[in-house]
């Protein structure tokens, strides 16, 4: 029993220390984006939701892949098969659909809160869709790679994936959000 606890601590502690540093990095990136975020009203409502959504979808994907690896449904080699493809497709569909809905929900939440200087529903939905989909593609690839690599090296993906994917997801999502804000800000028809 003690060896199981030691293995979990040995695998989890270093990644959690790195994740703490990654969380601070995401916060610093976000602080540097303050001017860009405040240009489009409603992005502050969108921000926590889009960060949480990326972590949730990638975390679920990581858990499903870890289970599939433990059950032998996916090999510890990067071979395309139906369980892997199904998980990737489901993750991508969830990323696109939820990002779209999140933009609409953020818009109406901002209006419901009584703010008068609102961004358009098109702006918030486009920002959410671009940032969420782009971050989702990157995180899906990263999650697949990390799950297979950790399992192939004898680590338990359950100990490593969730914290690392969530933290890296925050950083990537913040960067994708900045990209989406700048892109939508340049579009003349919005």
Q: Are 45 and 127 in contact (CB under 8 A)?
A: no
Q: Residue 76 maps to which CATH number? A: 1.10.357.20
CA torsion sign, 54 to 56 to 59 to 61?
negative
The per-residue b/e assignment along 21-36, b for 16 or more CB within 10 angstroms, e otherwise, is ebeeebeeebeebeee
**CA–centroid distance for 143 within its chain:** 10
Q: Which domain holds residue 71?
A: 2-186
CA-nearest of 168, 94, 178, 177 to 138 is 168
**pLDDT higher than 80, residue 116:** no
What is the torsion angle, in degrees rounded to the nearest 10, for the CA atoms of residue 158, residue 161, residue 166 and residue 172?
Answer: -170
pTM of the prediction? 0.85
Distance CA 190, CA 176 (A): 19
Distance CA 131, CA 53 (A): 11
DSSP output for 135-154: HHHHHHHHHHHHHHHHHHTT
Q: Quick one: average pLDDT of 130-152?
A: 93
Give 62-111 pLDDT, tens digit per residue: 989 999 998 988 888 778 889 899 999 999 999 999 999 999 999 998 88
Distance CA 93, CA 88 (A): 9
Give 6-55 pLDDT, tens digit per residue: 877 887 788 888 878 888 888 888 788 888 777 777 888 888 889 888 88
Domain count, the chain: 1
Distance CA 178, CA 74 (A): 35
């Amino acid at each position: 029993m003690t060896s199981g606890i030691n293995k979990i601590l040995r695998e989890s502690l270093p990644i959690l220390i790195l994740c703490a540093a990654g969380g601070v990095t995401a916060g610093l990136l976000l602080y540097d984006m303050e001017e860009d975020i405040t240009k489009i009203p409603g992005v502050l409502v969108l921000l926590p939701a889009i960060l949480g959504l990326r972590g949730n979808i990638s975390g679920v994907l990581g858990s499903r892949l870890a289970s599939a690896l433990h059950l032998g449904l996916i090999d510890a080699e990067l071979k395309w098969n139906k369980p892997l493809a199904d998980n990737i497709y489901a993750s991508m569909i969830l990323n696109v659909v939820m990002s779209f809905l999140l933009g609409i929900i953020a818009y109406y939440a901002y209006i419901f809160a009584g703010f008068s200087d609102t961004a358009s529903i098109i702006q918030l939905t486009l920002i959410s869709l671009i940032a969420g989909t782009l971050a989702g593609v990157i995180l899906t690839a990263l999650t697949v790679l990390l799950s297979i690599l950790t399992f192939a090296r004898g680590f338990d993906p359950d100990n490593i994936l969730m914290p690392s994917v969530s933290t890296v997801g925050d950083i990537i999502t913040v960067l994708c959000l900045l990209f989406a804000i700048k892109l939508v800000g340049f579009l003349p028809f919005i």
